[in-house]
Amino acid sequence: MPVNVLIVGAGPSGLALALLLLRNGLSVRIIEKQLQFHPGERGAELYKFLGILPDVLEQSAPVPTNVQYFAAPDDGKPPRIVPAALDLKSTPDRPMVEGRLLGQNRHGKILCEHIMADYGVQVELGTELRSFEQYPDHVVAHVVKTVESNTVEESIAANWLVGADGARSVVRKQLGLSFVGDSPNMEVVTGDIYLVGDTLMQDQHNGFFAWIRSDNKPAIFVRSCFIPGKNLFQFIIMGNENLDMVKISSNREEMIKAFHKITGRRDIEFGELVWMGLWRPNIRMVDTFGKERVFIVGDAAHVHSPTGGQGMNSSVQDSFNLAWKIALVEKGRAPQSILKSYSDERTPVIASMLNMTTQLFRKEFAAQSGQRKDFFRGPELLQLGINYRGSSLVLDEKYTDKDEVVDPYRSGDDGTVRAGDRAPDAPSLAHLDADTLKETAETMRLFDVFSPVQHTVLVFPGFAGDGFVTEVATTLAELPSDLFKSLLIYPRATPPSPRPSAVLSMTLVDTEGYAYKDYAVAEDTPGTVFIIRPDGYIGALVTSGRLGIRNYFTGILS
């Protein structure tokens, strides 16, 4: 029997996709060309939906301030202390906005541990994709496995193939997809190295340092990897025509010589070099994210500068967008045509992101002498404004202006709540006892309910009352029961009625008013329904009741 999905590549996007598909009950195989996982550091609310947020929080660290030495290393001037991220505080609708640092290797380890512990699936290391063929109902991939220094050929049949195999993606190349963009003329040496002692951290009790010469080049950026008990730092060396970057990247001694020359800090002693490489910026993206039964995610579809920290987050968003759609098709609930929306929705988002991070890159890393600016990270880099407004899959009965200009990266943060936007959270929702109609002491938040395996239907009855709720419940009863869970949310000032149907999963009271406020539903308006997709975005904003619910689900189901 073919596996449901073959995933090529075990980076963040591939592993996140695998876990999402497994959560949806699909079978997967994950192959990775490398014989072992990368050892070093590279490149929140979705992690809660995925079920790995506690591990992410435990193994990550807050973003520190940036200690910048902007003068020649021997002039004795004190450094400048600047924020490295916006100083933001969580709010009821945005409970996890504070920045966190988490290396790609530890991110991957968390995902692998959950995939193995929960589903018994292991990444097949040392397995390289050589070619594949597509057929009307499946794909055949030809791979070569390295087993005890011997190579073994295997053909793998899968219903779907997803390339998460990085910037040099074999899947993308064999699909013949255009990879359009720019390669700025510069080189950077980067890697991870241990420091002996705590001299650097004692400087400012910090973890993010920059030495930028008075002519702006060369420069060195160093940050702690924040691994408990390990004095491990990631470094980035930017050069100019007077530095041989290939030579610097050739061995540990050459790297240390360059560090001493640029910084003048010979009091910093280095230990073991974990890894090091020469990086050349590449800013490119595809014009479509797949063909027929083969798709690409993450760096296979888009590569960009690290400015803004958008890479890993964007890659995981790719996987969230694609996974629930593949799952519905594979279960026979949705037509294959729904998968076209993956490319349609993600292409404008990634194009906007590339434009923004490229501007940051040119300002921060490619600046000419005297033109370097302070790091500035606008709120759009939180990715809370990303939206799919106008997508063929979303339905909005409240905002119907078809000519409105939509910014795919920022419009979802304009103060309104619309179909296609990120679904807000809301805490302090009290359960309602079905027999006594009394609030229980137990409360919950919406993010406790949102799931990557189901839609979530939020029913706000407003003054329409029981008639509207009954109509909604009757309509939902016509749908497969495992497709969604539904929450009936009464405003705090309205005496609730008995739940009209067991179709509605639970009845809640908005005790603090956050749900009505953050979904912009006035308590004295007619009934409103929000349908939240499995990727955490609002699929539909319905005011018509039965008609709107039917229209939305008709648009995605077979």
pLDDT tens per residue, range 97-124:
666 766 677 777 888 898 999 999 999 9
pLDDT at residue 63 tops 90: no
Binned at pLDDT 50, 70 and 90, residue 555 comes out as: very high
Predicted confidence at residue 329, as pLDDT, reads 98
**pLDDT, mean of residues 186-214:** 74
* Residue 534: C-alpha distances to residues 129, 249, 309, 317, 456 (Å): 30, 44, 24, 12, 8
Sole residue written with tokens 């963040």: 12
| Highest mean pLDDT, choosing among 53-62, 161-170, 491-500 | 161-170
Lowest mean pLDDT among 119-123, 204-208, 289-293, 503-507: 204-208
Instruction: Please state which of the four CATH numbers 2.60.120.1090, 3.40.120.10, 1.10.260.40, 3.30.9.10 is assigned to the domain occupying 61-100+185-280.
Output: 3.30.9.10
More confident: 205 or 37: 37
pLDDT at residue 20 tops 90: yes
Binned at pLDDT 50, 70 and 90, residue 54 comes out as: confident
Predicted confidence at residue 376, as pLDDT, reads 47
* Residue 377: C-alpha distances to residues 84, 260, 317, 350 (Å): 8, 30, 20, 17
Predicted confidence at residue 368, as pLDDT, reads 44
Q: Which fold has domain 3-60+102-179+283-382?
A: FAD/NAD(P)-binding domain (3.50.50)
Lowest mean pLDDT among 186-200, 221-235, 299-313: 299-313
pLDDT at residue 499 tops 60: no
Supply 76's token pair: 């004795």
> CA 285 from chain center: how many Å?
17
Tens of pLDDT, residues 510-526: 999 999 999 999 877 88
pLDDT at residue 286 tops 90: yes
What backbone torsions phi and psi does residue 538 show, to the nearest 5 degrees? Answer: -75, 115
Predicted confidence at residue 459, as pLDDT, reads 95
Predicted confidence at residue 370, as pLDDT, reads 41
CA atoms of 138 and 159, how far apart (whole Å): 4
Neighbours of 442 (CB within 10 A): 8
More confident: 408 or 465: 408
Q: Are residues 42 and 303 in contact, defined by beta-carbon separation less than 8 angstroms? A: no
Predicted confidence at residue 222, as pLDDT, reads 86
Binned at pLDDT 50, 70 and 90, residue 301 comes out as: very high
Q: 376 CB contacts (<8 Å, ≥6 apart)?
A: none
Lowest mean pLDDT among 84-93, 150-159, 326-335, 513-522: 84-93
Q: Are residues 11 and 315 in contact, defined by beta-carbon separation less than 8 angstroms? A: yes
Q: Mark 107-130 as b/e (b = at least 16 C-beta within 10 Å).
A: bbebbbebbeeeeebebebbbbbe
What CATH class is the domain 395-556?
alpha beta
Tens of pLDDT, residues 436-445: 667 777 899 9
**pLDDT, mean of residues 279-306:** 91
CA atoms of 421 and 373, how far apart (whole Å): 32
Q: What is the mean pLDDT of the chain?
A: 85
Binned at pLDDT 50, 70 and 90, residue 44 comes out as: low
Q: Which of 164, 247, 173, 205 is nearest to 67 (CA)?
A: 205
Beta-sheet pairing, 219-224 with 127-134: unpaired
Domain boundaries, given as residue ranges, for the chain? 3-60+102-179+283-382, 61-100+185-280, 395-556
Q: Considering the entire predicted model, what is its pTM? A: 0.87
Binned at pLDDT 50, 70 and 90, residue 410 comes out as: confident
Binned at pLDDT 50, 70 and 90, residue 435 comes out as: low
Lowest mean pLDDT among 32-46, 340-354, 462-476: 32-46
| Highest mean pLDDT, choosing among 141-150, 298-307, 361-370 | 141-150
More confident: 208 or 76: 208
Tens of pLDDT, residues 361-390: 666 655 543 444 455 455 667 778 899 999
CA atoms of 457 and 31, how far apart (whole Å): 36
CA atoms of 74 and 262, how far apart (whole Å): 10
**pLDDT, mean of residues 309-335:** 92
Predicted confidence at residue 83, as pLDDT, reads 67
* Residue 545: C-alpha distances to residues 128, 391, 439, 457, 556 (Å): 51, 21, 26, 12, 18
More confident: 366 or 251: 251
Binned at pLDDT 50, 70 and 90, residue 402 comes out as: confident
Sole residue written with tokens 């997709």: 533
CA atoms of 496 and 436, how far apart (whole Å): 11
Predicted confidence at residue 371, as pLDDT, reads 45
Q: Which of 334, 314, 315 is nearest to 324 (CA)?
A: 334
pLDDT at residue 279 tops 90: no
